[in-house]
Amino acid sequence: MKKILLISMLFAYAYCKVFNNCELAKNLLNYGLPKDQIGTWVCIAFKESSYRTNVINYSSNCYGLFQIREQYWCSPGGNACGLPCSNLLDDNIYDDVQCVKTIYAEFQRIRGNGFLAWDTYPACKDYNTANSYISNCHL
């Protein structure tokens, strides 16, 4: 067990990427998130993971930059995003963003606001707060 943990930690470490806010903002825009939401997403990513791709919260079983919950969204726990949770830890966030879109759409449908899937959203909701995360970026 100890050995497995150590190996998985090394694995996660080897693939870790730490974004800066503008690099992340550009990636999110390129991967299809709406321009008027980018500040909110960068704020959420900061609050969830401090822009680090390899974060796992073992008490909530949440993975990666956006701390996506295994229970519903990634396998083996869930499959709504159609990917293994380990794919949410590497330095390629294209698949993370596609999963974020799936989660957002589902919460938009059931709660009327897609952002409500993230516990950190209330702290990022204010327009000026969200905007402050990307105000130095040329998007």
Ligand X SMILES: *[C@@H]1O[C@H](CO)[C@@H](O)[C@H](O)[C@H]1NC(C)=O
By beta-carbon proximity to ligand X, the closer residue of 57 and 136 is 57
Q: How far is the CB of 43 from ligand X (least distance, A)?
A: 15
Token pair of 92, please? 């390629």
Q: Tell me, residue by residue from 59 to 78, as one string, x for binding to ligand X by CB under 6 A and - for no binding.
A: xx------------------
Total site size for ligand X, rule CB under 6 A: 3
Name residue, tokens 């791709």. 53
What spatial distance separates the first Cα and last Cα of the chain, rounded to whole Å? Answer: 45
CA distance 6 to 131: 39
Per-residue exposure over 30-55, b if at least 16 CB sit within 10 Å of its own CB, e if not: eeebeeebbbbbbbbbbbbbebbbbb
Q: Is 57 in the site for ligand X (CB under 6 A)?
A: yes
Q: Which stretch binds ligand X (CB under 6 A): 28-36, 53-61, 74-82, 89-97?
A: 53-61
Q: How far is the CB of 32 from ligand X (least distance, A)?
A: 26
Residues in the site for ligand X, rule: CB under 6 A? Answer: 57, 59-60
